[in-house]
Structure 1
Amino acid sequence: MNSLEVKVEQLLREYRINQIRDPQFIILDNADFIQMFKISPKTAQTWRDEGLIQFAQVKGKIYYKLKDIQEFLNNHKGRKEI
């Protein structure tokens, strides 16, 4: 496994163990993001393609910082459609 991929997995494990509360350090994968918003994978892809949400990609796996998700929500408050 790639060392960056290992580090991301370690961060996720540490978050779950220590219940880190700083949104800068909480990382969600694409499946969590899709489930959180109750959207399709295609909608998540469209949001990424349009630059509406910041993300990182490691070996094809997509990750989002909770801080970026909060920013996304703040930028789109009050809109009927995103």
Structure 2
Amino acid sequence: MNNGDVSFRLKELNDEMSKLVIEVNKLRKSVGENEVWDNADLIRNWKISTRTLASWRAEGLIGYVQIGGKILYPREMRENFLKNNIKNGENKNGI
């Protein structure tokens, strides 16, 4: 492979990357920045049990909005929960 081939391939990859960025941005807009999930959405997407989610709410670990009997989880509250539970990846031996 010569330099011309490499340059051409890099340009192709750059073009494809640009197309992907455009598609990702379209998807973000379609999902919406203020997307709100209900219990079923959170349980399905995070693969947790109903009881686990109820425990997190009772312990004040995850914020929510309750309207009548409906419990909702705005994106900001879900993101805060995740940020508050970040672990550094080290095991108990410090490795």
Residues in 2 aligned to 1:35 and 1:60: alpha-carbon distance in whole angstroms:
19
**How many residues end up aligned between the 2 structures?**
61
Structure 1 CA distance, aligned partners of 2:88 and 2:73?
A: 22
* C-alpha RMSD of matched pairs (Å): 2.0
TM-score, length-scaled by structure 1: 0.65
Structure 1 unpaired stretches of 5+: 1-17
Q: Name the aligned partner's letter for residue 68 of structure 2.
A: K
Q: Distance in 1 between matches of 2:50 and 2:63?
A: 15
Q: Cα deviations across residues 7-59 of structure 1 (Å, max 9, x unaligned)?
A: xxxxxxxxxxx62532xx21011100011111111100000000000001122
Distance 1:79 1:40 in 2: 25
Q: What is the TM-score of this pair, normalised by structure 2?
A: 0.57
Partner residue of 1:12?
none
Of structures 1 and 2, the one with the larger relative CO (CA 8 A, separation 6+) is: 1
**Residues 1:64 and 2:81 are matched in the alignment:** no
Largest Rg, 1 or 2: 2
